[in-house]
Amino acid sequence: MPTRPRLPLEAEIDRRRTLQLLGGTAMSAAAGGFGTRVIAQSGNAETEIIRAHGYSFFGDLQYSPDFEHFNYVNPNAPRGGEIVLSARGTFDGFNRWAWRGNPQSNAGVVGESLFATEVFGTPVPADSLTEMYCLIAREVEYPASKEWCVFHLRDDVVFRNGAPLRAQDAAFTFNLFLEQGIRSFSRSVKERIKGVEVIDDLTLRYDFVDGISRRSLISQVGGMPVLSEEWYKETGERLDEPSVLSPMGSGPYQVGDYEFNRYVVYERNPNYWGWDHPVNVGRHNFDRIRIEYFADDTAEFEAFKAGVYTFRSEGSSKRWATGYDFPALDSGAAKTEEIPDQTAPLNAGIIFNTLREPVDDRQIREALALAFNFEWTRESLQFDLTSQRESFAQGQDWQAQGVPEGAELAFLQSLGDVVPAEMLTEPAVMPHSSDPATPVDRRNKRKALRILADAGWTVDDQGRLVNADGEQMVLDFLVLSTWDDTRKATIETYVNTLRNWGIRVNANAVDSAQGQQRFLDKDYDLIYTNIQTFATVGTGLKQLFGSETAEVSSWNPSALRSPMVDAIIEAALAAGSREEEITALTALDRALRYERIMAPAGYVAEYWVAYYDIFERPDELPPYGLGVLDFWWLNEEKLAALKASGVL
């Protein structure tokens, strides 16, 4: 609901709180792009204080304090109805943040943060990489030096049980994540944030460690979920343990009906406080989001054809090329679309776990990558529908090109000896080319065997690739039984090539629960998965690629531990402009490609979606999200017509 007018008394209380926090005695204010800029007098020093309805490390916020809704939504979108999606595998609980178990992947949607954050995978806002807007908080306040920040909370926010949300809950949740949260996250936060202080029920202050980059500090604390302290005390629940209970949050959806491993329904929270908040206008339009579970992709697709679920995002090029010819499509009851995707593609491919021998050796990784034949895979398994991915930032301004020069070269040179000399003079690593006529490219095999020989591995008279002690190279490839046929066929082809080279490869498929645990434990040598893309600089890069959390971070499936990459991330955090940030990200892309942590697979430059013709969306989509569960909506008349015809 709209923020109510602030009374003069409230304004005076806020002024006194700020004076108390700063230890100052006089203030003056001037309007600025961020919001209100305040000059606070503390002793003989003046400090610029920014107080605003949102936060951006660079530049002004595009949405003014009185904005009514995001530009890309339909503010008049009808609310109601149900969208039904699908998932493969199993789930055993709703504690999204547990270290163990297999929680339902959307279970975190029940919580909200001081800033509006990603819901069901769509960034908020979906038209900016660098901005965040207040949600639970009414305003955020911080000095220009960003040594601390203060959040002023709204007084109308309630948890789904109707209990008021207070600053004490935010402080409790922050400390809970430090004590029981994911280890890599907890370690990173403790190194950067001194602590949190509750000023009063609606005011919260975070202090940051001295002598570190100010990047991501305010956005990180503002983006953490806020959960109910009273609920945790009453239930005895732990953040690090699996649970069938859904944590008590204040979000627009709550867990409704469910049956483990069969379905789950997220339904509209009847106590939700924020339907009319400008951040939410035109969003969260479905009354219910139902997710049906299937054991394999064949059963899943057959269910879509039968109308068991109504929206499908397609990831199989084979099925996209050959499978969409069923009656509902022929009649127009269902439709397919290829919607341009403006974001960088997922960094998908065969990833090497650098914690494990022998793939802890960069030479070995370079050689093993040569076994992946993208051209044959594209023609034989993907119907020529994919493109070769060259970069961790494919198609973006920060994709490394050619030999480093200009600002990027100067940036790399400033890092000293951690940057190999050849990286400064040679073009960025590019994927190899292969013969599309055969899975085993003989030219690449010869090149790979030469590299392996230099690393001490040769083929013996039995055709086995062995080391100096006569021990055969053995690799464990983690494969999940729930993966689609195309991915399994791609892995099988790659594994057969390695076996052709004389390597023994274990690649037996495991169920999703076992696979999840092995993934978290990094119990594999190779895995076909993806690494998150990056578009801005933040300390989250340390969880993605940093050495300190490599062994425990689920975001870093390669467990990369590279002094060069660490140095690039540290230097990037000191970037003073977006231009400097792009330079640093370009260097990071170049370094990741040099480390050869994966054999890159292809990508598709569009969203492939299929759905029954009952959903609608804005004509112009934002650049950073498709937003199906965020700002699409249901057309009740179309739904009624399809039900009357017996299609649904």
Report the alpha-carbon distance of residue 576 to residue 327 in Å, rounded.
Answer: 57
pLDDT band at residue 39 under the 50/70/90 scheme: low
Which range is least confidently modeled, 100-104, 159-163, 228-232, 541-545?
Answer: 100-104
* Bond preceding residue 103 cis, omega within 30 of 0: no
Report the alpha-carbon distance of residue 136 to residue 166 in Å, rounded.
Answer: 10
Largest CA distance in the chain: 89
Q: Is the pLDDT of residue 600 over 50?
A: yes
Q: Is the pLDDT of residue 339 over 60?
A: yes
* Bond preceding residue 623 cis, omega within 30 of 0: no
Structure confidence by residue, pLDDT tens digits, 55-107: 998 768 999 999 999 999 999 999 999 999 999 989 999 999 888 888 999 99
Q: Is the pLDDT of residue 171 over 70?
A: yes
Work out the average pLDDT over 262-272: 97
- Per the prediction, the chain carries an average pLDDT of 91
Q: What is the Cβ-side half-sphere exposure of residue 560, based on CA atoms within 13 angstroms?
A: 28
| Domains of the chain, CATH where assigned | 253-343+605-644 (3.40.190.10), 347-603 (3.10.105.10)
Report the alpha-carbon distance of residue 21 to residue 25 in Å, rounded.
Answer: 11
The one-character DSSP state at 418 is G
Q: How many other C-beta atoms lie within 10 A of the C-beta of residue 500?
A: 13
pLDDT at 109: 94
Q: What is the Cβ-side half-sphere exposure of residue 319, based on CA atoms within 13 angstroms?
A: 21
Residue 237 burial (C-beta neighbours within 10 Å; 0-12, 13-18, 19+): middle
